[in-house]
Amino acid sequence: MMLEARERRYYRQQELLAAYRRPLLSFSMNIAGPIKNTPLIRRGYQRGKEELIERIHAAGGKILFEEEISEATGCEGMYVTDLDGALLKKLACQTEEETPLGRLFDMDVLNTEGEKLERPSPRRCLICGKPAKECARSRTHSVEELQKATTELLVKELDRQDIETVCELAVRALLYEVCVTPKPGLVDRKDNGSHRDMDIYTFMASAASLWPYFETCAQTGLKTADLAAEETLKQLRAPGMKAERRMFHATEGVNTHKGAIFSIGILCAACMRLKTEERFDPEKILSEAGRMTAGITEKELGSLKKEQAVTAGQRIYAEYGIGGIRAEAEAGFPSVLKYGLPILEGALENGRTKDEAGWAALLSIIAHTPDTNMISRGGIETQKAAAQEAETIIEKGIPDESVMEQLNREYIMKNLSPGGSADLLAVCWLMHFLKEAA
């Protein structure tokens, strides 16, 4: 099988060299043993491809042709660029030597005559660091040792990169949510909605302060991935309280993201509890968040009587049985999965702006979610009326900006702010970004 793959690769290389008369880069993974293709290996290959293409573009090069295959014999890619062979080989060597997974990358460059360009220095052994050819020739390390080292390297580096990606996208989701303009009763780029103690800069300061918290959540999810889901939630409580203190410090005492600290934090942890190939799948992430928070509403609010309630959320649950973000989370965020996210992504796919996609998703969430912030500010009947109005608007399609501006004026007059729905819009953005990053 491997011999057939080498022959196929050779003949394909000759075809491309004849067709383009340009240097050719051939990329595959250097994997010991009979198993050459797994989800983990494919993700490692994808990271190598991304790194290589970034370097080609940074050098001013263009990719004239690219082709990939993924078979039992491994992942392979062929790239024709407008760069000269020497520079292309230099970029390939830099990718192999300067990136954490580079030892697993096998990037050969052929000149226009089909001759393989040699690297200036020999490859190093994955295990001992000596010249790889010497170790291979003397069989210094067993296949099992090489496989173990390969898996450990892939897992360690992909975990690190995934945590970094999740944190970056979590902060971006918060920033995108506040930037959607106009929004009814909420802070955006144009005004402060129904709020007098915060503006868009308050939100930006708050979002920036939460990166360390999101990183802790993601690391906790990874560390507790083999434990019961509720154990992960338990270990997020102390970091969550610290994050609230950081938020209040950044905003000078204003509550901008308390709900998002709960929801986005849980989702960062849920991502990293999943298998590496599932971490950017919204359905899997939201379902895992539901497992983590199972029973939280009854546990934290179930025994409360109306006269014992201290917070607005407690009072609303005691009076109406509405669990707010706790109930939403333990149900797997249905408002996101069924309503907000499909509308957001559908609008973007149809060429609508981020603002239009964002406010359409927000309206859908308002229409289908009993927003406890709305109930707290205006009462249950006002919230129901607002939900009906939002549903009427969104049933006609994505509304014009003028409709949203009028709705904003109405909410301001009534002192309404759908803060819970805004937090869920941020969740929609996060799920969208994660899916794109897969």
Q: Where are the domains of the chain?
A: 2-122, 152-437
Residue 366: closest CA among 225, 106, 185: 185
d(CA 161, CA 159): 6
Q: What is the pLDDT of residues 81-134, one digit of tens each?
A: 999 999 999 999 999 999 999 999 999 999 999 999 999 888 889 989 888 888
What mean pLDDT do residues 368-379 have? 96
Confidence of residue 65 (pLDDT cuts 50, 70, 90): very high
370 preceded by a cis bond (ω within 30 of 0):
no
The residue among 420, 404, 408 whose CA lies nearest residue 370 is 420
DSSP state string for 227-255: S-HHHHHHHHHHHHHHHHHHHHHHHTS--
pLDDT of residue 4: 83
pTM for this predicted structure: 0.92
What superfamily in CATH does domain 152-437 come from? Triphosphoribosyl-dephospho-CoA protein (1.10.4200.10)
pLDDT in tens, 167-212: 999 999 999 999 999 999 999 999 999 999 999 999 999 999 999 9
Is the pLDDT at 308 greater than 80? The verdict is no
- Write down how long the chain is: 438
Q: Averaged over 362-389, what is the pLDDT?
A: 97
| 304 CB burial (10 A radius; 0-12, 13-18, 19+) | middle
- In sequence order, what are the beta bridge partners of 65? 80
User: Using an 8 Å Cβ cutoff, are 258 and 153 in contact?
Assistant: no
Task: Point out the least confidently predicted range of 35-49, 57-71, 293-307.
Answer: 293-307
Options 3.30.70.260, 3.40.50.10860, 3.30.390.30, 3.40.50.1370; which CATH number does 2-122 get? 3.30.70.260
- Report whether pLDDT(310) > 80: no
Strands 63-71 and 105-110: unpaired
| Confidence at residue 302, expressed as pLDDT on a 0 to 100 scale | 84
Asked whether residue 73 carries a pLDDT value surpassing 80, the answer given is yes
Is the alpha carbon torsion for 102, 217, 346, 404 positive or negative? Answer: negative
- Evaluate if residue 307 carries a pLDDT over 80: no
Backbone angles phi, psi at 218, to 5 degrees: -65, -45
Percentage, residues of the chain above pLDDT 70: 100
Structure tokens belonging to residue 233: 């939630």
Q: Could you report the per-residue pLDDT of 331-350, keeping only the tens digit for each? A: 999 999 999 999 999 999 99
Structure tokens belonging to residue 160: 């690190």
CA 97, 152, 430, 264: dihedral to nearest 10 degrees? -130
> Would you say residue 240 has pLDDT above 90?
yes
